[in-house]
Chains A and B, each alone.
With several copies, the nearest count.
Chain A
Amino acid sequence: MAYNINEKGYYGEFGGAYIPEMLYPNVEELRQNYLKIMAEPSFKAEFDQLLKDYVGRPSPLYLAKRLSKKYNTKIYLKREDLNHTGAHKVNNTIGQILMAQRLGKTRIIAETGAGQHGVATATVCALMGMECIVYMGEIDIARQAPNVARMKMLGAKVVPALSGSRTLKDATNEAIRDWINNPVDTHYIIGSVVGPHPYPDMVARFQAVVSEEIQWQLKEKEGTTKPNYVVACVGGGSNAAGAFYHYLEDTSVKLIAVEAAGKGIHSGESAATSVLGREGIIHGSKTLLMQTNDGQITEPYSISAGLDYPGVGPMHAHLYKTGRAEFMSITDDEAMNAGLELSQLEGIIPAIETSHSLAIFDQKKFKPDDIVIINLSGRGDKDLNNYIDYFKL
């Protein structure tokens, strides 16, 4: 069984590039060049150097002793929260800005949910002196104010998406519209493993540095490259794709993808795509998505802006369909409590997205000698107001 992408741009039956003709030249140019460019030694060198000197990689693999003790298993945290800008998102934006430069693009657009991808994009645009426009749902602008402020400081223009649920899905629509209108000079930096091929694969490859590092870091600490479990939350799925990447074909390593159940999977306010979704097309990709019988995309809900998305990337649709990954759903309340717990047990305030991954320990028991790696996809600075309000601290 193959879990990674095939030469046609599909993960099993999922993927492809269901795009309007207006996007074809851009997407095709990217498709034809991305692997070639990524393989160029000068690209690799610049990418690696920026990840090291600018982003601060490798991110540590940290044995969380007090958390491990509490749940009687061995929990390692992959510290993507320590990356420059505070989440895994920057691994991808560094890669894509270098890609955009090599494709001769001068203007960058992006969508963002939690704002982490927007900040990471604004950051690399400042670094390279490129114009940057970030689309962000009006609701997300309100609930992730610190990240909006950061984007502005970095010189990016933040454009509110006012349609639909005014969250990530709609910001993505707006970004695609912008790209359609600016097909020559503009590169669209998609922030997750979603969108038309080759985006899911390209983003996964940029994020794959996460599992590449886990392998040698775990070897150093435990004498094996293989954990028993790798756990990651799934909005679009990029942090999970990165954490799973080098383990995809090795089924001795179990993969757990954690989705946002919002106020409860069947409450009508949820973003648990694997349970609630069906096959269909969203943002240029054939995948699982939440939709009406009629094929209208449903407005999702999660307290976490980064998981508040009605689809998942095609890789994850495939991992779900094949059973390669176990999918779990975590409610707002469970996530918030897990976020507080990590803060007070380990001194690490996680992003609310990440808190979903941390909440699985109340649902699933692990063996004392299991090695469980949680991809700590981001820090919670952007979520402080939400935590404070929620817990009335």
Chain B
Amino acid sequence: MNRINKKLQEDKKLLSIYFSAGYPNLNDTASIIQKLEESGVDMIEIGLPFSDPLADGPTIQESSTQALKNGMTTNLLFNQLATIRETVTIPLIIMGYFNPMLQYGVEAFCKKCKETGIDGLIIPDLPVDVYNEQYKSIFEKHGLINVFLITPQTRIERINFIDSISNGFIYMVSSASVTGSKSGFGDEQTNYFERISKMNLSNPQIVGFGISNNETFTQATKHAKGAIIGSAFIKHLTKNGVTNIDFFINKITSIRKSKFKKA
């Protein structure tokens, strides 16, 4: 069973962390992953940096740019991750734009993911139908879970369709916005989380975009299985480098423990 699926079966709200590979320093990737696992994070999205990350807000964008300046490449990422499975067991997802994967060769890329121990992919600009028609079988052949996004604007039929071709979780974009651009959730988001929750989809949902602290994490996971923190974690890295990662994570998970034990 894929590590992602296994993790999703755990009876708790999941905390997933995103960071850009190669940031703040070129070779921080493995140690960030290890420290995140040690801190009790449930899942990790490793950002494959792209020159033109059009769905990302300024924080992630800048970290990508810096990572590329540091010398990050697709090959290097795979090298950095070559022995990662010797030290961590946490589900690992590569999140990146489609063009670098296309240039690597989609099949080669998937194969390499499998070899490295990557469990899934999030490719914001790979459309559902193109995936479904051209790439689904390749992903499945290599045991990779592909994660699709939905937003408050996604229609019910489309959500159902996405659910039907998903085999892990659904990445629920909290509000239609690039990463890092809103702070705190209002009624609109809460209603949306609830609405999706009531659809009883076969794939659990994990919320992303706009989660930066325990408060937003709590709100987001009231109706969803988990939440992803990206920009806020990158800001932590910018400020502290790879130190105090457990402190950052604990601020969120301590709350999770105290709060959700009751539930």
Question: Given A16-B130, A20-B125, A173-B52, A297–B178 Cβ distance below 8 Å?
Answer: no
Contact between B153 and A183 (Cβ–Cβ < 8 Å)? yes
Contact between B153 and A25 (Cβ–Cβ < 8 Å)? yes
Which of A220-228, A279-287, A350-358, A377-385 binds B?
Answer: A279-287
Contact between A22 and B103 (Cβ–Cβ < 8 Å)? no
Contacts of A169 in B (CB 8 A): 52
Specify the chain A residue showing the minimal Cβ separation from B68: A296
Q: Kindly provide the distance from the CB of A349 to the nearest chain B CB, expressed in whole angstroms.
A: 32
Of B57, B125, B128, B150, the residue contacting A281 (CB under 8 A) is B125
Contact with A along B120-163 (1 / 0, CB 8 A): 00001111101000000000000000001111011100100000
Which of A140-148, A174-182, A242-250 binds B?
Answer: A174-182
Whether a CB of chain B sits under 8 angstroms from the CB of A294 is yes
Contact with A along B25-66 (1 / 0, CB 8 A): 000000000000000000000000011111111000110010
Whether a CB of chain A sits under 8 angstroms from the CB of B98 is yes
Contact between A297 and B51 (Cβ–Cβ < 8 Å)? yes
Q: Kindly provide the distance from the CB of B16 to the nearest chain A CB, expressed in whole angstroms.
A: 18
Of B68, B73, B124, B155, the residue contacting A20 (CB under 8 A) is B124
Contact with B along A151-183 (1 / 0, CB 8 A): 000000000000110000110010011001111
Of A17, A22, A24, A182, which is in contact with the most chain B CB atoms at under 10 Å from its CB?
A22
Specify the chain B residue showing the minimal Cβ separation from A298: B51
Contact between A177 and B178 (Cβ–Cβ < 8 Å)? yes
Q: Kindly provide the distance from the CB of A309 to the nearest chain B CB, expressed in whole angstroms.
A: 12
Could you tell me the distance between the alpha carbons of A282 and B97 in the complex, rounded to whole angstroms? 10
Whether a CB of chain A sits under 8 angstroms from the CB of B214 is no
Could you tell me the distance between the alpha carbons of A294 and B101 in the complex, rounded to whole angstroms? 8
Whether a CB of chain B sits under 8 angstroms from the CB of A19 is yes
Of B56, B65, B130, the residue contacting A18 (CB under 8 A) is B130
Of A180, A183, A283, A296, the residue contacting B51 (CB under 8 A) is A296
Interface size range on B against A? 35 or more
Could you tell me the distance between the alpha carbons of A181 and B125 in the complex, rounded to whole angstroms? 16
Of A17, A284, A291, A294, the residue contacting B73 (CB under 8 A) is A294
Specify the chain A residue showing the minimal Cβ separation from B124: A20
Contact between B124 and A281 (Cβ–Cβ < 8 Å)? no
Contacts of B89 in A (CB 8 A): none
Could you tell me the distance between the alpha carbons of A173 and B178 in the complex, rounded to whole angstroms? 11
Contacts of B65 in A (CB 8 A): 163-164
Could you tell me the distance between the alpha carbons of A169 and B53 in the complex, rounded to whole angstroms? 11
Whether a CB of chain A sits under 8 angstroms from the CB of B99 is yes
A294-328 contacts to B, CB under 8 A, are 294-297
Of A16, A20, A294, the residue contacting B55 (CB under 8 A) is A20
Contact between A21 and B103 (Cβ–Cβ < 8 Å)? no
Contact between B102 and A22 (Cβ–Cβ < 8 Å)? no
Contact between B176 and A181 (Cβ–Cβ < 8 Å)? yes
A254-273 contacts to B, CB under 8 A, are none
Whether a CB of chain A sits under 8 angstroms from the CB of B116 is no
Could you tell me the distance between the alpha carbons of A296 and B99 in the complex, rounded to whole angstroms? 8
Could you tell me the distance between the alpha carbons of A157 and B12 in the complex, rounded to whole angstroms? 47
Whether a CB of chain A sits under 8 angstroms from the CB of B260 is no
Contact between A295 and B127 (Cβ–Cβ < 8 Å)? no
Whether a CB of chain B sits under 8 angstroms from the CB of A363 is no
Specify the chain B residue showing the minimal Cβ separation from A163: B61
Contact between A294 and B154 (Cβ–Cβ < 8 Å)? no
Q: Kindly provide the distance from the CB of A23 to the nearest chain B CB, expressed in whole angstroms.
A: 8
Contacts of A251 in B (CB 8 A): none
Of B99, B149, B155, the residue contacting A25 (CB under 8 A) is B155
Contacts of A279 in B (CB 8 A): 102
Contacts of B53 in A (CB 8 A): 173
Contact between A164 and B124 (Cβ–Cβ < 8 Å)? no
Of A183, A184, A283, the residue contacting B54 (CB under 8 A) is A283
Could you tell me the distance between the alpha carbons of A297 and B148 in the complex, rounded to whole angstroms? 24
- Could you list 11 examples of A-B contacts with CB < 8 Å? A20-B55, A20-B149, A22-B55, A25-B154, A170-B52, A177-B56, A184-B153, A291-B103, A294-B103, A295-B74, A296-B100
